[in-house]
Chains A and B, each alone.
Chain A
Amino acid sequence: MWKIAFLFISAVTCSLQAGEHIFVSGGPALRYFERHKDKDHDKYWGNFIVSVVARQKEVSQEYGADDLLTWLIYKPAHQSRDKEEKVDFMPSIIANAAKINATLIWFSTKDELINYINTGQDRSKIKIERFEYFGHSNKRCFMFDYSNKLDGAVPDFSALHLDDLKKIKPSSFDPRAHCQSWGCHSGEEFSRAWFKQVKVPMLGAIGKTDYSKGGVPHLSTQQGRWAQ
């Protein structure tokens, strides 16, 4: 009985405190690697940037006045794409972050992302209420650097694999947090592993997702659906 009362009180307390909404963007592939492929990726460098802006507009009503909005973006892939296109996209990314009032944090490895999730804020007070990922993925891995440093592959330090999920502290999350991956195939295996390790469900796609319309990505496989 006391246990239930304690859980109820902590849940109420939690709901009154500010929470954090986190968007994570992976990086684009290089055209140098992709242009020879039948199904090439990332003709547009900013797929995982504009989709976050569109998504934020969709969910902005769900934020509390004191909630934090944090946008973590994988930097190395954006830098090398800048170099390839000979255009500095960084000011555009920074402007987009300012447009949605997000705190922009660059990361370069999966460990930096995990560290932010675990200790980026005082997690005893500020819980993660939303965690959404935009980028390349397969059913077992978020690939922040797909086909950018390596042709058709990912360096291990930028591949958040199922096996890495045990490093994430479940206590960082609000039990009712909304977690979602907008990458391909996450709902086929990653979501299940996420729930097992992080104790919060993650919505993921069964099938592929498509960013080509420029807004929030949509399911592009004929029998695709969202699962958690």
Chain B
Amino acid sequence: MKNIFITLLLTLASLGASYAQDANTSPSAPVVESINPETPLSEPTLVDPTPTPAPAAANEIPPQLNIKPNIKPVAPKPPRTIPTRFGDTTGEVFIGQRTVINRYAGWGWIRREKDTWRKSKWVMLEETPGVLFAPGRYLGHPDRDNGTQYKLYGTWATYKGYEPNFDVFVDVFQIKGFELIGAAEIPKMSPPRSSRGRSDSEGTYSRGANLRR
């Protein structure tokens, strides 16, 4: 009887050992790839075959899965928005309506605060790259604020700007700050044009000599 019991124990032990060996070599064994990107993929980490403790509570993470990835969390990019106020906002107030006109250089219409739009001027904006720039550049593309109205602060330049498509010289506003008003509509107006007609060519104006370089 004692011999039978010992034999039974040995058989069970050998069966257990072979199961454990199978668990190490079986192709169907679960392989968990390292999350750390620095670990070579050719040496996958195997799950420890030793019996796992009793199932953890729902809010606990099993220790073998509690591997913190070595990846820095990527902060979501903040949405591109125009600040409500930027730069020096002291001095005379001008109201500016950003207006994009196809193939017509310039920023839009500007009037004094007390004036009506009938007295507004089509202007070019003198910016200082990296320091003072047109509000629409906050949106990643200077034209994306088309139809937006601002309070503008700055002065009129002593020179005019040459519009190369319509061959006219228009006023230049040197911006020093702005306040966002928001989307707005103004009466439809046409910017100035040369009495000689357009200065672009064949309807497909190329503004410079260099197209690709």
Contacts and interface: CB of A to CB of B under 8 A. Distances in A.
Interface stretch (A36-44, A59-67, A88-96): A36-44
B209 A209 contact: yes
Contacts of A152: 105, 164, 207
A146 interface: yes
Nearest to A146: B208
Contact of B208 (A32, A147, A149, A156): A147
Contacts of A153: 105-106, 124, 161-164
Contacts, number: 126
A52 B42 CA distance: 58
A136 B207 contact: yes
Interface in B143-187: 143, 159-165, 167, 169, 172
A153 B208 CA distance: 11
A42 B105 contact: no
Interface string A144-164: 001101111111110101000
A141 B211 CA distance: 18
B2 interface: no
Interface residues of A, number: 49
B68 interface: no
A209 B201 CA distance: 13
B164 A143 contact: yes
Interface residues of B, number: 35
Nearest to A134: B209
Main secondary structure of the interface of A (DSSP, over half): loop
B125 interface: yes
Main secondary structure of the interface of B (DSSP, over half): loop
B164 A42 contact: no
A139 B197 CA distance: 12
Contacts of B141: 36
A23 interface: no
Contacts of A151: 105, 107, 124-125, 127, 134, 142
Interface of A: 29-30, 32, 36, 39, 41-44, 47-48, 80, 84, 134-141, 143, 146-147, 149-157, 159, 161, 182-185, 188, 207-212, 214, 217, 220
Interface of B: 105-107, 124-127, 129, 134, 141-143, 159-165, 167, 169, 172, 196, 199-201, 205-213
7 contacts: A47-B213, A80-B129, A143-B208, A146-B164, A153-B164, A184-B201, A184-B209
